[in-house]
Amino acid sequence: MLKEYATLLPHLRSYRYRYVAGILCLIVVDASQVLIPRYIQIAIDRISSGAFALVDIIDPLVHMLLLALLISIGRFFWRYFINIASRRIEAEMRDRLFSHILSMSGNFFRENTTGDLMARATNDISTIRQATGMGFVSLIDGIFMTAMIIAAMFLNNSAVAAWIILPLPLITALILLFGRIVGRLFKKIQDIYGYLSNIAQESLSGIRIVKSFVKEDYFYNRFSMANTDYKNAIMDLVKTSGFFFPFITFLSGLSTILLIIFGGRASIRNKMTPGSIIAMLSYLEMLVWPLMSAGFTVNIVQRGAASLKRINQILRTAPEIKESSNCIRKTPRGDIDIKRLYYIYPGSQKPALKDISVHIPEGSMLGILGKVGSGKSTLLKILPRMLEPGEGHVFIGNIDIWSYGLRELRSAFGMVPQESFLFSDTIEHNILFSAHNISPERFKAITKISGIDHDYQLFPDGWETVVGERGITLSGGQKQRIALARALAADPNILLLDDALSAVDAQTEEHILSSLIDERKAKTTIIVSHRISTLRNADYIIVLDSGEIIQQGSHEELMAESEGFYARIAALQQLEQQVSIDSIKNNISQRETLSREKPLGQDTSVSEEKIYG
């Protein structure tokens, strides 16, 4: 799994001088620590000689004090250099991941859940930071400390040192085994954590639906089960670590027993002094940390590798929609020409669009009607290349949209989708999301055009009212009108309305459309709608069915085709409207009859003027 760390090489190169400085400080600390037992040995040997003055041990004590000071300074600076570098790498990796996610197309988000992506951008990145920080430190520290301590032990007494280090190969084998187990367990933990995050994100985002269907218990149980799986996975790792680290301590304790046996024998034979045995014991105690840090290093490196693998899965996924190397860096303008357009969603066998050809003059309004699943939204998404149509099918100003840079192409469009998404911010900031510098007069104009100005008095803090996540505090019609105002604020060359007025009443819709026509006389507008009352204002209308154009023409021309889909839908909607009006009139008539039967002074009549007014 160490190959996953190749992703970090560019970042590590950027901070190589910090890491080199940190390593040098770390080596100074390790060397100072290894020297301290040497001065302990000198002091004890002088004390055990039987004839010493206090002045005899001042020299080693001063040296130990200076070494302790040097260790403190060195520890501060290796933390300063290495921890800061790891924190910066964490920030850069998080930026890199988020930037890459933003470049991905819609299919990527269908395959990867929001909760899992959030887990990778937070928990996994933090684990990588630990690997490039304390993991790196424990690796270097373990290598140098182990080498220095073993060298010092052999310099002290090579024969005894050879016996003492006998448990080390077994400890090394255990460390390698531990690393494999930890990598597998931590990968499982991170996957479950992503699933757990996704459940929480979906439950909270859809809290209205959860409550309206009284499904709190269902989502609680679902979360609780995932949380239990997460706890069990962590406990498996804890049990493994709980066995490993005490066992390493036990094996290191065997070395102490070996020191007592062979060191004591050497002391009896006058081949080791008391100070030498105490120094060797100090080295053994110091050796426990490098051995423990080896397990810690393997743990954190394997965890980092598991997290990096999850991050690399995202980074190695190339965006489906790319711009050419010599793309045009200007905003497209002009007529829109769609020529023999086909589109099939990945994994599907059935084309979503088949042989679509239509000409949309600049400054005109195109209306689109069709059944659910007929390809209306797909067609709108293709125009700004939210879906990839390929070359030679869609042109703006006689230039293939594939030739434009994505930023320049999409800046020409303003889109109001079927489901209006609002950020957890004020209404004003949501409207000014795409255009921060418009004048107060322009802001007033677009709120009037969209019809949201009528609701101004209903908002507790006016335009400064915070709408909550995804606009949860607003009605569907209010969200649609705010989304429309947001699109108008950008003043795009091409405005795409994907059934964007479905949640507003007919009177408000009429007001919006009449204002919109006046607003966009010189700019192109494409409207998808199920209402004939909306489409009748369009200059040209196409009717889609199963991804194909089955009718096209003006409102009058399509109405003339009495057997056509458009005319049948118009007749059906007109009938529904008439039935609704007749129902209201019958209700008024019944109330008037009832009121005449009531005694005087008990007026319960409701006038038609009140009903419509």
Report residue 597's pLDDT band, with 50, 70 and 90 as the boundaries. Answer: low
Give the list of residues 6+ apart from residue 591 with CB closer than 8 angstroms, or none.
604, 605, 606
Give SS3 for 552.
strand
Q: Could you tell me what percent of the chain has a pLDDT over 90?
A: 23
Contact 367, 540 (CB under 8 A): yes
Which strand ranges, in their side-by-side order, compose the sheet holding 413-416? 413-416, 494-498, 524-528, 365-370, 540-545, 548-553
Contact 274, 267 (CB under 8 A): yes
Q: Which residue has the higher pLDDT, 342 or 501?
A: 342
- Is the pLDDT at 141 greater than 80? The verdict is yes
Q: What is the pLDDT of residue 32?
A: 92
- Overall average pLDDT of the 56-63 stretch: 86
Question: How many angstroms separate the CA atoms of 429 and 119, rounded?
Answer: 28
What would the two tokens of residue 441 be? Answer: 């007069």
Report residue 596's pLDDT band, with 50, 70 and 90 as the boundaries. Answer: low
What values do phi and psi take at 353, rounded to 5?
-135, 140
Residue 215 has what DSSP assignment? -
One-letter amino acid at 48 equals S
Q: CA 165 from chain center: how many Å?
A: 49
Helices vs strands, H then E, count in the chain: 24, 10
Residue 470 has what DSSP assignment? G
Q: What is the pLDDT of residues 359-394, one digit of tens each?
A: 999 999 999 999 988 999 999 999 999 888 888 899
Contact 326, 348 (CB under 8 A): no
- Which has the minimum average pLDDT: 17-21, 136-140, 176-180? 176-180
- Is the pLDDT at 295 greater than 70? The verdict is no
- Which has the minimum average pLDDT: 334-343, 391-400, 603-612? 603-612
Q: Which of 20, 134, 22 is nearest to 87 (CA)?
A: 134
Question: How many angstroms separate the CA atoms of 308 and 301, rounded?
Answer: 10
Contact 308, 7 (CB under 8 A): yes
Q: How many other β-carbons are positioned within 10 Å of the β-carbon of residue 152? A: 19
Give the list of residues 6+ apart from residue 582 with CB closer than 8 angstroms, or none.
none
- Is the pLDDT at 59 greater than 60? The verdict is yes
- Is the pLDDT at 612 greater than 60? The verdict is no
Q: What is the pLDDT of residue 337?
A: 94
Element (H, E) at 396: strand 394-396
Q: What is the pLDDT of residue 594?
A: 55
Q: Which residue has the higher pLDDT, 16 or 436?
A: 16
- Overall average pLDDT of the 460-469 stretch: 85
- Overall average pLDDT of the 509-518 stretch: 84
- Which has the minimum average pLDDT: 47-56, 96-105, 327-336? 47-56
Q: What is the pLDDT of residues 400-429, one digit of tens each?
A: 999 999 889 999 998 888 888 888 889 898
Contact 345, 352 (CB under 8 A): yes
- Which has the minimum average pLDDT: 43-52, 407-416, 520-529? 43-52
Q: What is the pLDDT of residue 544?
A: 94
Q: What is the pLDDT of residue 120?
A: 86
Question: How many angstroms separate the CA atoms of 26 and 28, rounded?
Answer: 5
Question: How many angstroms separate the CA atoms of 471 and 431, rounded?
Answer: 12
Q: What is the pLDDT of residue 608?
A: 34
Neighbour-count burial for 541-579, b at 16+ CB within 10 Å, e otherwise: bbbbeebebebbbebeebbeeeebbbbebbeeeeeeeee
Q: What is the pLDDT of residue 82?
A: 92
Q: What is the pLDDT of residue 603?
A: 42
Q: What is the pLDDT of residue 76?
A: 94
Question: How many angstroms separate the CA atoms of 363 and 334, rounded?
Answer: 9
- Is the pLDDT at 81 greater than 60? The verdict is yes
Residue 273 has what DSSP assignment? -
Q: What is the pLDDT of residues 530-577, one digit of tens each?
A: 888 888 889 999 999 999 999 999 999 999 988 889 999 988 888 877
What is the CB-side half-sphere exposure of residue 8 using CA atoms within 13 A? Answer: 28
pTM: 0.72
Q: How many other β-carbons are positioned within 10 Å of the β-carbon of residue 215? A: 15
Return mean pLDDT, the chain: 83
Q: How many other β-carbons are positioned within 10 Å of the β-carbon of residue 208? A: 10
- Is the pLDDT at 494 greater than 90? The verdict is yes
Q: What is the pLDDT of residue 325?
A: 79
Q: Which of 317, 319, 308, 318 is nearest to 6 (CA)?
A: 308
